[in-house]
């Protein structure tokens, strides 16, 4: 092969030089996401919550354990911006520390279901056949149990606590990720560029890692973001019925639950943790929706 | 069509077998001795052991599972560890209340979600669209147990419109149904909107417009039925979500359903009832999904054709 | 027979996209006489479909806008019509056949009903009468009438396109716009469908605009041809003259690009370069960056229409005498 | 062209590829035999579902043949173990139909063309990049596009990237699977010229698959016509137009609109659709639509036999005794 082939055909692209800067698809996605104001609002809120969770000790005005039995269920005041709870603890501080728990539960639970469900789904989608059958029938079984019930069953059997809650919530949503990853892998697997990789001699491992996974990430990222929201809600729900995080660890759902009995006398005790949950979930949903739009290639047209 | 229904019914058997297996296994490895729970912590060891033998708790795992399945098929889910009454009886007594609540929730969700979603889609980017989309997003972000408490605060304590708890009349149903249905309504609104927007982009909608049909006919006759196909599936899934959500909602409103029974049972470590409850709700969910699939085939002739 | 049915003047349609404003159709002029079949030829992005949708007033908005121009149909400017008035034209006086028969029929309605509803709407028939007519239309396009109750997925691509034709002709329109009606079909099926269209057109006396990229189809079906490039018409003529003596360099390039079935040509002489970016169309003559005869003036001035013969018009400065035609 | 004296580079014998589908066994390729000589282009033409693409993929073992032999340079590649198949990829490549789907959207042009080098661990990193530039020039791509992504290019330039990738390993043989079908006429002509020029320069052998008989005839030395999983006729590019023997070939030819105003031809319009390959007719596969069908055609399939020098036809009108052996 020689290079005098240059003149063989006039190189196309010369007369229409690419004036735009070349952007990878991820750069393109980020550019679209940045233009979506709602999604950016969501992202900023989440970053703020992350920040408060990490620096809770610095930010929180009080220790979350400090009880003050003289000031039980006090309404919001200058010393206690969001009031105090049934044991006289500062609600604001507990919400700030609670962010830690919620974010941890959300992200760890999603990681668990993503790793387990994602791997199962990817294998089922790529190899099909009997493996697919066995995996997906098992997923059908798990899907038949409403996920919060499954989480309740697991936690009621093995006990509450941060770790168990994360595992329970994670396991309960495994089938969701298995299905999404499988569908995504199958749709990518059918694409011609996968066959093209095989045609130039790529092995299965390379095809899965270099071609299929990067291209099937879009729906997984969206589901993952929304999944964190769902996991946080589920964990809060578990704590609410007394199955989740154990005191004195501040957890939003548990705080809400303890405020429930004070609803007539001190409604703020139940109100503020609920608002905290809602803002977090709202922000995650905003970001998830924005990601969905940014990752949807059809919107490019 | 009958073949399709039969096939789906047959598929239910292995799924329910699997569900029983999962639930039984979780409960089997639960720390805590049912015999001891039944007799109380201070019961003499010999008595506990005798009861263990009588209940077959010393048998191997698979034997116990086989017995569980065998009994469950006859409608026997074991005895409640607290009341000593048959768990099936206890659950069955509470079941209508849960079904009522979930059905009311679905009704709220469908009646709110589908119309709002359609209007939003046909008036994309309008004020109505923007407003309802923000509301829907808040709807999916609100924890329903919190929403329930807030509703009690507003409508029972402040406004005194509805009773804060209880069961029996329509007035009792309103707040629990709204609580449990809100997030599903929001989900269905969002789904309906995006599904409609997707369908409206299709070529056959252009064909319909090219015939000179009015926009109303194009939407009602051509777009809606196609858009409903994925929504029907979502409604089915939401029903499962509502059955799960019943556990929380029933607790807030003291609603005498399976959910509250289960929460009480968990507190008293009454695993037989928990196990039976999960099984019962999963079975309900599976049957609802079966009905949804059949409905699906009626809406979409392409599915029906596969099973002619 | 020389009465003008459709007259498009200075049409301009734009699409607002993320990349910028796309001039889909610009400065487009086109006439169609009664009883005639006009072939609208061009490559992807030439603006053929947009022109058709503009006539139907179905340009999706947003992102599309018909910015200016006039579309005279039977002595009325369609662009001045209200939406409700336009609905009595669509599917009745002007109807359209779409490219992809797999997606352009509604999957959840029977094909019989999809024909009936147009008939019921425009001809004020009872549903019994409409059903009868739908069955007759099916027979006419070669589908057994007993299949009226079947759904689109039960038909092959060619059969679905026949259904599309039945829908379009059901109200006996005076103008039929067929947008690449056979592109998605196999050759032998294409032959069936073209044959059917030719037969029905003469039976119904319908005038037709046939959008295609296939010059072979044009040679077989059309009386006159308009060649489009980058949103505008570059050459119009009756079919015979265009095929024997193409004048515009783009038209000549198109002919040089087609592999011949009946002649042995060892090497094609394609047009160099690529289609221009629709958000950054070249100045002057749109074709000048790819034109082998382009001179300096071609990038500075928009060519005007020059009649080279009776009924044969070219938008090229060679024929305005401003550029010298190079001998190849 | 003295093709008869050269030895075949590729010999396909009784190739079959069946798929299990819900409706039943789909015989996508059913007993196909042909050979391709060193340096020639064999065109395979047929309508959708005739099995032409599956044939192209089966001879590269991109799909596993159900039965038959594919002999490449004297060795049966259907017997190759996976590592031998990978080595075979250096000799035999493919250019795909859809330039929008055949390039990984997350990889840059350079990464796409370089991938074969990485897989076979060829060259140092710098040499790889140099080779990429060479290949880009060879296929007529501006090297400014090295770091661009597929979505930034038009169909024609993407297809050039696909060609460059296929050439990267210096193959002897390339299957071109509808390489121009997705392109506009003016771009199609550019790519056809490119494919022809590359053959001359690099002494390549092609199997060129297309549904467009004009394109196939233009580029091929010999043309095979496929219908419903079988080859019904093989002959030279010249004969296929001047002397088509099989009724299907004749119908196919007459169905193609010729861009000339005075092209007066007899038109054969076939009735009905192509039958499903799950349930092909007994006897001759074309018997259901053939205008000249005889009783015999409905009973046993005719064999592909040589009627004149290098002209093979499977039709009882041409050879009334040759039945296909039971297989």
Tell me whether residue A109 is exposed, middle or buried, using C-beta atoms within 10 angstroms of its C-beta: 0 to 12, 13 to 18, 19 or more: buried
Tokens 């596993």 sit on residue: D64
In-domain check, residue A7: no
pLDDT in tens, C273-320: 888 888 889 999 999 999 999 999 999 999 999 999 888 999 999 998
* Residue C213, phi then psi, degrees to nearest 5: -110, 0
Q: Is the pLDDT of residue A3 over 70?
A: no
Higher per-residue pLDDT: A160 or B273: B273
How many domains, in total, are found in chain B? 2
For residue C231, what are the contacts with CB-CB under 8 A and spacing of at least 6?
C23, C24, C25, C26, C28, C46, C47, C50, C278, C281, C286
Give B146-209 as a DSSP string.
HHHHHHIIIIIIIS--S-SS--SSHHHHHHHHHHHHHHHHHHHHHHHHHHHHHHHTSHHHHHHH
Q: Are B138 and A282 in contact (CB under 8 A)?
A: yes
What does pLDDT average to over chain B? 89
- CA-based nearest residue to A122, from A26, A38, A187: A187
What does chain B come to in residues? 308
Q: What is the pLDDT of residue D161?
A: 97
* Mean pLDDT, residues B37-53 taken together: 82
Query: In this complex, which chains have at least 3 CB pairs below 8 Å with chain D?
Result: A, C
| Domain extent for B192 | 96-268
| pLDDT tens per residue across span D273-285 | 888 888 888 899 9
A6 within some domain: no
**Any C CB within 8 A of A300 CB:** yes
Does residue B119 belong to any structural domain of this protein?
A: yes
Nearest alpha carbon to residue D226 among D58, D94, D54: D54
pLDDT of residue A4: 35
Residue A67, in any domain of the structure: no
- For residue A297, the model assigns a pLDDT of 60
User: Inter-chain contact A144–B281, Cβ cutoff 8 Å?
Assistant: no
Task: Compare CB distances from C108 to B207, B210, B300 and report the shortest one's residue.
Answer: B300
On whether any CB of chain C is under 8 Å from the CB of A16, the answer is yes
- For residues A151-168, give the mean pLDDT: 89
Considering the domain architecture, whether residues B108 and B218 belong to the same structural domain is answered as yes
Range of the domain at A288: 82-295
Contact (CB<8Å) D144/A195:
no
Q: What is the DSSP string of D37-80?
A: ETT-EEEEE--TTSSHHHHHHHTTTSS--SEEEEEETTEEGGG-
Cβ–Cβ of C117/B209 closer than 8 Å? no
Given an 8 Å threshold on Cβ–Cβ distance, is A25 in contact with D120? no
Q: How far is C271 from chain B (nearest CA, A)?
A: 33
Residue D162 lies in a domain: yes
| Interface A-D: count of C-beta contacts within 8 A | 124
Residue numbers in A near B18 (CB within 8 A): 137-138, 140-141, 144
Q: Residue B201: how many CB atoms within 10 A of its CB?
A: 11
Strand ranges for chain D from DSSP E: 8-21, 24-37, 41-45, 67-72, 75-76, 92-95, 173-177, 205-210, 222-227, 230-236, 305-308, 311-313
Average pLDDT, chain A: 86
Question: Using the beta-carbon criterion (under 8 Å), do C96 and B210 form an inter-chain contact?
Answer: yes
**Does A23 contact D at CB distance below 8 Å?**
yes
3 state SS of D95: strand
- Segment C20-27 mean pLDDT: 92
Integer Cα distance of D256 and D250 in angstroms:
10
Q: Is residue B190 in some structural domain?
A: yes
Any chains having at least 3 CB pairs less than 8 A from chain C are A, B, D
Report pLDDT for C1: 46
Query: Is residue C124 over pLDDT 90?
Result: no
Helix then strand then coil, in percent of chain A rounded to 5, is: 75, 0, 25
> In the Cβ-directed half-sphere of A215, how many Cα atoms lie within 13 Å?
23
How is chain D split among helix, strand and coil, in percent rounded to 5?
A: 35, 25, 45
Cβ distance of C254 and D192 shorter than 8 Å: no
Tell me: the pLDDT tens digits for B276-306?
999 999 999 999 988 888 888 888 888 766 6
Contact C67, C13 (CB under 8 A): yes
Region D300-324 average pLDDT: 88
Lowest-confidence range among B257-261, D97-101, D212-216? D97-101
* Residue A116 resides in a domain: yes
Distance CA D122, CA D119 (A): 8
Residues 41-70 of C with CB under 8 A from D: 43-44
Band of pLDDT at residue D264, cut at 50, 70 and 90: low
Same domain membership, residue B213 and residue B103:
yes
CB pairs under 8 A between C and D: 124
* pLDDT > 50? residue B213: yes
Q: Taking residues D135-157, what's their average pLDDT?
A: 92
Predicted confidence (pLDDT) at residue D267 exceeds the cutoff of 70: yes
Neighbours of C97 (CB within 10 A): 27
A158 near B30, Cβ under 8 Å? Answer: yes
Q: Would you call A8 an interface residue with chain C, using a CB distance cutoff of 8 Å?
A: no
Q: Does residue B102 fall inside a structural domain?
A: yes
Residue A72 inside a domain? The answer is no
Average per-residue pLDDT in chain C?
A: 92
In a domain, D197, yes or no: no
Strand C94-97 with C175-179, pairing: parallel
Q: Say if B280 falls within a structural domain.
A: no
Instruction: Supply the angle between the helices B127-141 and A268-295 in degrees, to the nearest 10.
Output: 120
Residue D148 lies in a domain: yes
What pLDDT, in 10s, does the model give residues B222-271? 999 999 988 998 999 899 889 988 889 999 999 999 999 999 988 888 88
Q: Per CB distance under 8 Å, which residues of D are interface residues toward C?
A: 47-48, 154, 156-157, 184-190, 192-193, 196, 211-215, 217-219, 237-238, 241, 251-261, 263, 267, 269-270, 273-274
Q: Distances from the Cα of D313 to the Cαs of A101, D303, D317, D322, in angstroms?
A: 76, 8, 10, 10
Q: Report the gap between the CA of A48 and the closest CA in chain C (Å).
A: 31
The CATH number given to whatever domain includes residue A185 is 1.10.3720.10
C-beta separation of C258 from D214 below 8 A: yes
The pLDDT score that the predictor gives to residue A12 is 44
Kindly tell me if the per-residue pLDDT of B165 is higher than 90.
no
Question: A195 — contact with chain D (CB < 8 Å)?
Answer: yes
Domain count, chain A: 1
Element spanning C211, H or E: strand C207-212
Judge contact between A264 and A248, C-beta under 8 A. Answer: no
Secondary structure of residue D266 in the 3-state scheme = coil
For residue D137, tell me if it sits in a domain. Answer: yes
DSSP B79: B
Q: From CA D290, how far away is CA D306, in angstroms rounded?
A: 21
Residue after which a domain boundary falls, among B12, B46, B78: B78
pLDDT tops 50 at residue A10: no
User: CB within 8 A of D224, min separation 6: which ones?
Assistant: D34, D42, D43, D44, D45, D231, D233, D234
Contact between chains at D144 and A12 (C-beta distance less than 8 A): no
Is there a domain that residue B122 lies in?
yes
Terminal CA-CA length for chain D: 35
Same domain membership, residue B191 and residue B227: yes
Chain A positions touching B243 (Cβ under 8 A) are: 146, 149
CB contact C299 to A (< 8 Å): no
Statement to judge: residues B221 and B251 lie in one domain:
yes
ipTM entry:
0.86
Task: Please give the pLDDT value at position A7.
Answer: 36
> Taking CB atoms and an 8 Å cutoff, what residues of chain A touch C274?
12-13, 16
Chain C: give the shortest CA distance to residue B222, in Å: 7
Query: Model confidence at C262, in pLDDT bands (50, 70, 90)?
Result: confident
Domains in chain C and their CATH numbers? 4-93+173-320 (3.40.50.300), 104-172 (no CATH)
Pairing of strands D75-76, D305-308: unpaired
| Position B163 in a domain | yes
For residue A24, pLDDT beyond 80: no
User: Is C258 at the interface with chain D, CB within 8 A?
Assistant: yes
pLDDT on residue A22:
67
Helix axes A252-260, A213-240, angle to 10 degrees: 30
Q: Is the peptide bond before C63 cis (omega within 30 degrees of 0)?
A: yes
Task: Give pLDDT, residue A2.
Answer: 35
Quick: pLDDT tens for B17-34: 999 999 999 888 777 777
Count B/C contacts: CB-CB distance under 8 Å: 77
Q: Using a pLDDT cut of 90, give the percent of chain D over it.
A: 79
- Are residues B11 and B106 both part of a single domain? no
Is A42 a residue whose pLDDT tops 80? yes
What domain count does chain D have?
Answer: 1
Mean pLDDT to the nearest integer, B104-127: 94
Asked if C276 reaches chain A (Cβ–Cβ under 8 Å), the answer is yes
Q: Is B91 a member of any domain?
A: no
Instruction: Please answer yes or no on whether C104 and B300 come within 8 Å at the CB atom.
Output: no
Domain that holds residue D127: 105-170
- pTM value is 0.87
Kind of pairing, strands C305-309 and C20-33?
unpaired
Q: Examine the domain organization and report whether B262 and B123 are in the same domain.
A: yes
Chain C CA closest to residue A11? C273
In angstroms, the CA A225 to CA A219 distance is 10
**Backbone torsions φ then ψ of C188, nearest 5 degrees:** -70, -30
The radius of gyration of chain A from alpha carbons, rounded to an integer in Å, stands at 25
Average the pLDDT over C136-152 and give the result: 93
Per-residue confidence band for A249, with pLDDT thresholds at 50, 70 and 90: confident
Closest CA to A200 of B114, B219, D112: D112
Distance of alpha carbon B190 from alpha carbon B187, whole angstroms: 5
B25-34 burial: b if 16+ Cβ within 10 Å, else e: ebbeebeeeb
* pLDDT higher than 60, residue D245: yes
Q: Which of D276, D230, D274, D227 is nearest to D23 (CA)?
A: D276
For helices A268-295 and A37-54, angle between their N-to-C axes, nearest 10 degrees = 130
Q: Which residues of B touch C (CB under 8 A)?
A: 202-204, 206-214, 217, 221-222, 225-226, 229, 299-302, 305
What is the distance between the terminal CA atoms of chain A, rounded to a whole angstrom? Answer: 40
Distance (Å, whole) CA B244 – CA B263: 12
Distance CA A274, CA C162 (A): 60
Assign residue B197 the CATH number of its domain.
Answer: 1.10.3720.10
Please give, rounded to a whole number of angstroms, the shortest distance from the CA of C313 to a CA of chain A.
29
Instruction: Please answer yes or no on whether A157 and B146 come within 8 Å at the CB atom.
Output: no
CA distance readout (Å), D234 to C261, D55, D68, D196? 17, 15, 19, 21
Within an 8 Å CB–CB cutoff, is residue A12 touching chain C? yes
CA of A10 vs chain D CAs: smallest distance (Å) = 6
Listed residue (A99, D257, D284, B222) closest to C213, CA to CA: D257
Tell me if B298 is assigned to some domain: no
């Amino acid at each position: 092969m020689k290079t005098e082939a240059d003149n063989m055909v006039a190189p196309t692209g010369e007369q229409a030089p690419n004036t735009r800067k070349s952007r990878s698809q991820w750069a393109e996605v980020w550019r679209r996401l940045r233009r979506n104001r709602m999604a950016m609002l969501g992202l900023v809120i989440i970053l703020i919550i992350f920040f408060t969770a990490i620096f809770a000790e610095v930010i929180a005005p009080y220790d979350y354990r400090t009880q003050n039995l003289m000031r039980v269920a006090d309404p919001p005041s200058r010393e206690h911006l969001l009031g105090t709870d049934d044991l006289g603890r500062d609600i604001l501080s507990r919400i700030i520390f609670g962010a830690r728990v919620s974010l941890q539960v959300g992200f760890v639970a999603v990681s668990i279901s993503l790793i387990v469900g994602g791997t199962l789904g990817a294998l089922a989608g790529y190899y099909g056949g009997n493996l697919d059958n066995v995996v997906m029938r098992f997923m059908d079984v798990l899907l038949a149990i409403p996920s919060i019930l499954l989480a309740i069953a697991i936690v009621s059997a093995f006990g509450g606590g941060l770790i168990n809650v994360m595992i329970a919530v994670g396991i309960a949503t495994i089938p969701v990720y298995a299905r999404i990853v499988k569908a995504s892998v199958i749709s990518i697997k059918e694409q011609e560029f996968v066959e093209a990789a095989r045609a130039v001699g790529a092995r299965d491992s390379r095809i899965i890692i270099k071609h299929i996974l990067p291209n099937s990430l879009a729906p997984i990222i969206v589901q993952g973001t929304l999944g964190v929201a769902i996991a946080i809600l589920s964990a809060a729900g578990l704590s609410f019925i007394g199955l989740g995080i154990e005191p004195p660890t501040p957890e939003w759902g548990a705080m809400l639950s303890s405020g429930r009995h004070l609803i007539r006398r001190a409604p703020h005790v139940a109100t503020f943790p609920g608002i905290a949950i809602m803002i977090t979930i709202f922000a995650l949903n905003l970001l998830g929706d924005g990601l969905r739009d940014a990752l949807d290639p059809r919107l490019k047209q | 069509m009958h073949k399709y229904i039969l096939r789906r019914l047959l598929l239910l058997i292995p799924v329910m077998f699997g569900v029983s297996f999962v639930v039984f296994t979780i409960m089997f490895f639960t720390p805590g001795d049912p015999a001891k729970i039944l007799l109380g912590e201070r019961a003499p060891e010999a008595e506990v052991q005798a009861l263990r033998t009588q209940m077959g708790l010393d048998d191997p795992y698979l034997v116990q599972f086989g017995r569980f399945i065998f009994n469950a098929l006859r409608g026997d889910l074991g005895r409640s560890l607290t009341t000593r009454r048959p768990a099936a009886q206890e659950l069955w007594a509470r079941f209508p209340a849960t079904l009522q609540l979930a059905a009311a929730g679905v009704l709220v969700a469908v009646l709110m979600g589908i119309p709002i979603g359609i209007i939003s889609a046909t008036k994309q980017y309008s004020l109505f669209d923007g407003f309802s989309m923000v509301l829907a997003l808040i709807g999916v972000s609100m924890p329903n147990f919190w929403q329930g408490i807030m509703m009690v605060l507003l409508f029972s304590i402040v406004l005194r419109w509805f009773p804060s708890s209880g069961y029996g009349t329509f007035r009792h149903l309103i707040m629990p149904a709204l609580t449990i249905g809100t997030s599903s309504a929001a989900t269905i609104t969002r789904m309906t909107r995006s599904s409609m927007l997707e369908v409206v982009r299709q070529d056959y909608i252009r064909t319909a417009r090219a015939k000179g049909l009015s926009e109303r006919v194009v939407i009602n006759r051509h777009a809606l039925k196609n858009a409903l196909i994925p929504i029907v599936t979502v409604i089915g899934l939401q029903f499962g979500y509502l059955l799960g959500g019943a556990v929380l909602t029933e607790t807030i409103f003291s609603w005498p359903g399976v959910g509250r029974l289960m929460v009480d049972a968990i507190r008293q470590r009454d695993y037989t009832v928990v196990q039976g409850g999960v099984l019962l709700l999963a079975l309900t969910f599976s049957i609802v999904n079966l009905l949804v699939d059949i409905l699906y085939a009626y809406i979409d002739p392409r599915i029906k054709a596969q099973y002619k | 027979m020389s009465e003008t049915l459709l007259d498009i003047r200075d049409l301009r349609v734009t699409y607002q996209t993320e990349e910028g404003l796309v001039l889909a159709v610009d400065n487009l002029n086109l006439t169609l006489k009664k009883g005639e079949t006009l072939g609208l030829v061009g490559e992807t992005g030439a603006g053929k479909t947009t022109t058709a949708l503009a006539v139907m007033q179905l340009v999706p908005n947003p992102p599309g806008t018909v910015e200016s121009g006039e579309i005279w149909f039977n002595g009325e400017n369609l662009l001045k019509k209200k939406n409700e008035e336009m609905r009595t034209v669509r599917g009745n006086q002007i109807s359209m056949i779409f490219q992809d028969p797999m997606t352009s029929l509604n999957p959840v309605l029977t094909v019989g009903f999809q024909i009936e509803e147009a008939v019921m709407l425009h001809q004020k028939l009872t549903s019994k009468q409409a059903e009868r007519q739908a069955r007759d239309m099916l027979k006419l396009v070669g589908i057994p009438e007993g299949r009226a109750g079947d759904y689109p997925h039960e038909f092959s691509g060619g059969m679905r396109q026949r259904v599309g034709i039945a829908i379009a002709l059901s109200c006996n329109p005076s103008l039929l716009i067929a947008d690449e009606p056979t592109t998605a079909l196999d050759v032998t099926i294409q032959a069936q469908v073209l044959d059917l269209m030719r037969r029905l057109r003469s039976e119904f006396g319908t005038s037709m605009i046939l959008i295609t990229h296939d010059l072979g189809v044009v040679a077989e079906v059309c009386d006159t041809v308009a060649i489009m490039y980058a949103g505008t018409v570059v050459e119009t003529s009756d079919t015979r003259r265009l095929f024997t003596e193409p004048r515009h360099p783009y038209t000549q390039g198109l002919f040089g690009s087609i592999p011949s079935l009946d002649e042995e040509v060892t090497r094609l002489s394609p047009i160099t370069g690529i289609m221009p970016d629709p958000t950054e169309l070249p100045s002057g003559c749109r074709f000048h960056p790819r034109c082998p005869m382009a001179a300096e003036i071609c990038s500075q001035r928009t060519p005007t229409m020059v009649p080279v013969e009776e009924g044969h018009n070219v938008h090229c400065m060679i024929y305005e005498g401003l550029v010298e035609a190079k001998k190849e | 062209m003295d093709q008869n004296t050269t030895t075949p580079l590729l010999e396909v014998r009784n190739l079959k590829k069946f798929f299990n589908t819900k409706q039943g066994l789909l015989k996508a390729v059913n007993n196909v035999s042909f050979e391709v000589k060193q340096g020639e282009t064999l065109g395979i033409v047929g309508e959708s579902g005739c099995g032409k693409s599956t044939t192209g993929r089966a001879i590269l073992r991109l799909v596993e043949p159900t039965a038959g032999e594919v002999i490449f340079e004297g060795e049966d590649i259907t017997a190759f173990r996976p590592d031998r198949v990978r080595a075979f990829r250096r000799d035999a490549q493919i250019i795909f139909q859809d330039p929008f789907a055949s390039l990984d959207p997350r990889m840059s042009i350079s990464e796409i063309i370089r991938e074969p080098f990485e897989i076979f661990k060829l060259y140092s990193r710098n040499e790889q990049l140099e080779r990429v530039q060479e290949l880009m020039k060879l296929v007529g791509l501006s090297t400014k596009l090295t770091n661009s992504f597929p979505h930034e290019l038009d169909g024609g330039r993407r297809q050039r990237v696909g060609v460059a990738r296929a050439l990267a390993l210096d193959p002897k043989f390339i299957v071109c699977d509808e390489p121009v079908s997705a392109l506009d006429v003016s771009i199609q002509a550019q790519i056809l010229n490119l494919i022809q020029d590359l053959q001359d320069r690099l002494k390549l052998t092609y199997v060129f698959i297309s549904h467009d008989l004009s394109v196939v005839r233009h580029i091929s030395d010999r043309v095979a016509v496929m219908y419903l999983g079988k080859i019904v006729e093989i002959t030279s590019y010249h004969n296929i137009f001047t002397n088509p023997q099989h009724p299907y070939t004749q119908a196919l030819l007459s169905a193609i609109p010729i861009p000339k105003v005075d092209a007066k031809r007899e038109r054969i319009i076939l009735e009905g659709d192509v039958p499903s390959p799950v349930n092909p007719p007994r006897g001759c596969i074309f018997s259901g639509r053939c205008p000249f069908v005889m009783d015999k055609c409905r009973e046993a399939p005719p064999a592909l036999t040589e009627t004149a020098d290098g002209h093979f036809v499977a039709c009882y009108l041409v050879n009334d005794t040759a039945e296909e052996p039971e297989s």
